[in-house]
């Protein structure tokens, strides 16, 4: 009556699955600097926490007596595990088996429409996609006997889209990916690519060569330089796979398990009342001179907690997750090292980040030093107005509190995007702050042209008017009028922010759940 | 296997490729090689396109992380090129008013 033979068979088949695509394929994969999907999953998760689902799925062949003679595992490995003790769903293609292409079962294990997506959706837990697959293959037409319209069967992406509204989704591009898996990678709240071994494109070099006669390497077409730094198709770059796993764990440490929860608070060893003297003179007296905004942020946030999203794309704005007294905040800061001017890329990056924070109940802090939107023919051709106003539109749809620290410039449409007009409209300024619809230097000639031209010494008159206006532009005058809510000693910024971030936590708890927004983005 | 050729053999000599034995290496080249092994050469790049506004350091200067080597003028701003490493300036590759492209190496440091 014992089932020991069958039980033994379960274990034997698991062993077969763990061999992936066989010793030869695995060693080739390792030689290319890549870990197998099971090794990757094991390293992303808390040690020993992986519980695999569907390990026995694959293609088997049997002899006449019904004994298994050959088994090829399904080229997708998935299951659940824990990161920092919290449950996550995780899966990835097994590149060592037919380059991670689908295996044609009625139910897909992972990728768009796969079981692991359904699990993340039903259980309301984060999903981690480790992408290393080349997508569809023409061999499925032969198997099926007919061809299908895109979005057929499991391939519709509707579950991937559902997930974007309820649980954190992370994509890591860990090999060369095209087509469906590429699209799957994009449907994430945060994505990362492993430098050198990762490439992503709509279609690879052979297709591009056929279409345009242009010969490109896969790195030129979709390596990190293009996909991350230039296009912002993916968010961050990892130096290697270990760095990738570290960054995935780090990103998720700032996010709640789903939108019905608040982000996890951390113990904070960094004193709340740490007032750094360096903040008193970090802003140069000349508004032409740049300074290190990342250093400024590091002096204010809890030590070692700044985690930049899209650090190499649209660099005139810095977007980072961070903590203040252990509570998660989203930081948006203009970067004077890149002029601080919002160009079309920076605007796109800012809008996306603001929406990400709003969705996961992360309050926002703007550190404003922005002279305006990028001007000029090239910028107009890049739709700067549309991109810039879209960032503003997204900012006006958020329901998390937004805090503004004006450290220097705050001008124009871009400056307005740093202000919480929808909420409390709470702005604090440093003595180095200046603001307006446009900087005095550019505006005087246009506004007072007739008066200047009529003066006996036009150049002198222009200087005089500039001087008058500059006196009026003192932030103390605005603070007297309560048109900026506070003007503070820069060294107090950390304790000031920590206390308000703590005080707004009750508000965050009142709006848990998905956020639905009406309207059409410009 | 398709797609595997050219992978996994970095550093190996390709069959048929000509390879000279190191018999012709002179004493000088050996010394230079040794220097490369012991001294790390740090390339300092400009992260933005602009023109050189000021050169702030000279060969032989000892710099610490965060020190400014060069100031670039771009978008009406003076933007410092900063070293992230401690080291000695070996070479400054630009002079005032030179145009500089994003990613261009503007100075060399040695640690």
Residue A338: list chain B partners with CB under 8 A: 47-48, 79
Please check the confidence at residue A139 and state whether its pLDDT lies above 80: no
Give B58-77 pLDDT, tens digit per residue: 999 999 988 999 999 988 88
- According to DSSP, the residues that pair with A131 across neighbouring strands are A173
- Rounded to the nearest 10 degrees, what angle do helices A293-300 and A493-503 cross at? 60
User: How many C-alpha atoms does A420 have within 13 Å on its Cβ side?
Assistant: 25
Q: How far is B66 from chain A, CA to nearest CA, in Å? A: 9
Q: Please, what's the largest Cα pairwise distance for chain B?
A: 56
Give A428-452 pLDDT, tens digit per residue: 999 999 998 777 776 788 888 888 9
Residue A286: list chain B partners with CB under 8 A: 78
Please check the confidence at residue A379 and state whether its pLDDT lies above 70: yes
SS3 A211: helix
* Interatomic CA distance for residues A167 and A149, integer angstroms: 29
Nearest to B8 among A28, A295, A341 (CB): A28
Give A9-68 pLDDT, tens digit per residue: 999 999 999 998 889 999 999 999 999 999 999 999 999 999 999 999 999 999 999 889
Residue B65: list chain A partners with CB under 8 A: none
Please check the confidence at residue A150 and state whether its pLDDT lies above 80: no
Contacts of residue B103, Cβ cutoff 8 Å, sequence gap at least 6:
B45, B46, B47
Lowest-pLDDT range, A141-145, A260-264, B37-41? B37-41
Q: How far is A456 from chain B, CA to nearest CA, in Å? A: 30
Q: Dihedral sign for Cα A277, A283, A284, A289, please.
A: positive
- Rounded to the nearest 10 degrees, what angle do helices A440-447 and A458-472 cross at? 130
Q: What is the pLDDT of residue A137?
A: 64
Please state, for a pLDDT cut of 70, what percent of chain A lies above it: 98
CB contact under 8 A, B77 and A340: yes
Give A182-210 pLDDT, tens digit per residue: 999 999 999 999 999 999 999 999 999 99
- Which is nearest to A55 in space by CA: A1, A91, A31, A101? A91
Confidence of residue B35 (pLDDT cuts 50, 70, 90): very low
- Which is nearest to A498 in space by CA: A334, A243, A328? A328
Nearest to B74 among A28, A295, A339 (CB): A339
Confidence of residue B29 (pLDDT cuts 50, 70, 90): very low
pLDDT average, residue stretch B91-98: 95
- Which is nearest to A405 in space by CA: A391, A421, A394, A418? A418
Confidence of residue B44 (pLDDT cuts 50, 70, 90): very high
CB contact under 8 A, B47 and A28: no
Confidence of residue B32 (pLDDT cuts 50, 70, 90): very low
A230 or A113, which is more confident: A230
DSSP assignment letter at B4:
-
Give A248-278 pLDDT, tens digit per residue: 999 999 999 999 999 999 999 999 999 999 9
Whole-angstrom CA distances from A97 to A198, B7, B9 are: 18, 18, 22
Nearest to B7 among A32, A295, A337 (CB): A32
Give A445-483 pLDDT, tens digit per residue: 888 888 898 999 998 998 888 888 888 889 999 999 999
pLDDT average, residue stretch A402-424: 93
Structure tokens at A332: 């948006």
* Interatomic CA distance for residues B71 and A181, integer angstroms: 44
* Interatomic CA distance for residues B12 and B14, integer angstroms: 6
Please state, for a pLDDT cut of 90, what percent of chain A lies above it: 81
CB contact under 8 A, A336 and B77: yes
Tell me which range, A113-122, A469-478, B21-30, is most confidently predicted by mean pLDDT. Answer: A113-122
A126: left (phi over 0), alpha (psi -120 to 50) or beta: beta
Residue B82: list chain A partners with CB under 8 A: 292
B78 touches chain A (CB under 8 A): yes
B75 touches chain A (CB under 8 A): yes
Please check the confidence at residue B33 and state whether its pLDDT lies above 80: no
A177 contacts A200 by C-beta, under 8 angstroms:
yes
Q: What is the pLDDT of residue B37?
A: 52
CB contact under 8 A, A337 and B1: no
CB contact under 8 A, B78 and A288: yes
B7 touches chain A (CB under 8 A): yes
Q: What is the pLDDT of residue A475?
A: 93
Please state, for a pLDDT cut of 70, what percent of chain B lies above it: 65
B69 contacts B63 by C-beta, under 8 angstroms:
yes
pTM of the model: 0.89
User: Taking all residues of chain A, what is their mean pLDDT, rounded to a whole number?
Assistant: 93
């Amino acid at each position: 009556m014992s089932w020991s033979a069958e039980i033994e068979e379960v274990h034997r088949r698991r062993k077969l699955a763990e061999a992936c695509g066989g010793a030869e394929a695995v060693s080739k994969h390792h030689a290319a600097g890549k870990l197998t999907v099971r090794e990757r999953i094991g390293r992303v998760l808390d040690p020993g926490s992986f519980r695999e689902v569907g390990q026995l799925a694959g293609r088997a062949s049997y002899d006449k007596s019904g004994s298994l003679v050959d088994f090829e595992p399904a080229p997708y490995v998935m299951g659940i595990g824990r990161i920092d003790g919290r449950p996550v769903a995780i899966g990835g293609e097994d590149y060592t088996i037919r380059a991670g292409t689908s295996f044609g079962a009625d139910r897909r294990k992972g990728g768009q429409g796969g079981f692991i997506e359904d699990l993340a959706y039903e259980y309301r837990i984060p999903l981690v996609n480790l992408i290393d697959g080349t997508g569809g293959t023409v061999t499925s037409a032969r198997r099926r006997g007919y061809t299908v319209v895109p979005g057929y069967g499991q391939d519709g992406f509707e579950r991937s889209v559902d997930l974007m509204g309820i649980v954190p989704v992370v994509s890591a591009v860990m090999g060369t990916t095209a087509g469906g898996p590429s699209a799957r990678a994009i449907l994430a709240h945060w994505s990362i690519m492993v430098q050198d071994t990762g490439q992503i494109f709509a279609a690879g070099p052979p297709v591009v060569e056929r279409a345009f006669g242009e010969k490109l390497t896969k790195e030129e077409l979709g390596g990190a330089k293009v996909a991350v730094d230039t296009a912002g198709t993916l968010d961050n770059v990892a130096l290697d796979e270990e760095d990738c796993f570290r960054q995935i764990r780090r990103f998720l440490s700032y996010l709640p398990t789903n939108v019905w929860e608040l982000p996890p608070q951390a113990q904070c060893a960094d004193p709340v009342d740490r007032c750094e003297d360096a903040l008193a003179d970090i802003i140069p007296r000349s508004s032409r001179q740049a300074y290190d905004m990342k250093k400024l942020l590091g002096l204010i946030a809890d030590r070692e907690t700044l985690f930049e999203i899209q650090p190499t794309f649209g660099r005139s704005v810095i977007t980072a997750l961070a903590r203040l007294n252990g509570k998660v905040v989203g930081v948006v800061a203009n970067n004077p090292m890149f002029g601080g001017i919002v160009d079309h890329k920076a605007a796109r990056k800012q809008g996306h980040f603001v929406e990400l924070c709003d969705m996961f109940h992360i309050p926002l802090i703007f550190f404003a030093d922005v002279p305006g939107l990028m001007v000029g023919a090239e910028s107009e051709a890049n739709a700067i107005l549309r991109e810039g106003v879209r960032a503003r539109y997204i900012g006006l749809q958020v329901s998390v509190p937004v805090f503004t620290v004006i450290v220097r410039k705050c001008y124009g449409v871009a400056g307005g995007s740093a202000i919480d007009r929808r909420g409390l409209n709470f702005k604090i300024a440093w003595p180095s702050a200046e603001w307006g619809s446009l900087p005095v230097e550019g505006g005087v000639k246009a506004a007072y042209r007739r008066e200047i031209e009529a003066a006996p010494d036009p150049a002198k008159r222009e200087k005089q008017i500039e001087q008058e206006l500059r006196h009026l532009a003192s932030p103390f005058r605005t603070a007297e009028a309560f048109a900026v809510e506070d003007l503070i000693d820069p060294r107090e910024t950390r304790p000031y922010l920590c206390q308000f971030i703590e005080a707004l936590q009750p508000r965050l708890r009142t709006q848990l759940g998905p956020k639905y927004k009406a309207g059409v983005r410009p | 296997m398709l797609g595997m050729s050219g992978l996994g053999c970095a550093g190996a000599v390709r069959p048929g490729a000509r390879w000279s034995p190191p018999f012709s290496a002179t004493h000088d080249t050996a010394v230079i090689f040794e220097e490369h092994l012991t001294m790390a050469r740090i390339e300092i790049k400009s992260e933005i396109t602009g023109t050189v506004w000021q050169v702030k350091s000279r060969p032989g200067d000892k710099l610490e992380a965060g020190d400014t080597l060069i100031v670039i003028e771009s978008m009406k701003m003076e933007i410092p090129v900063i070293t992230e490493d401690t080291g000695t300036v070996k070479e400054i590759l630009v002079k005032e008013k030179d145009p500089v492209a994003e990613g261009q190496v503007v100075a060399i440091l040695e640690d």
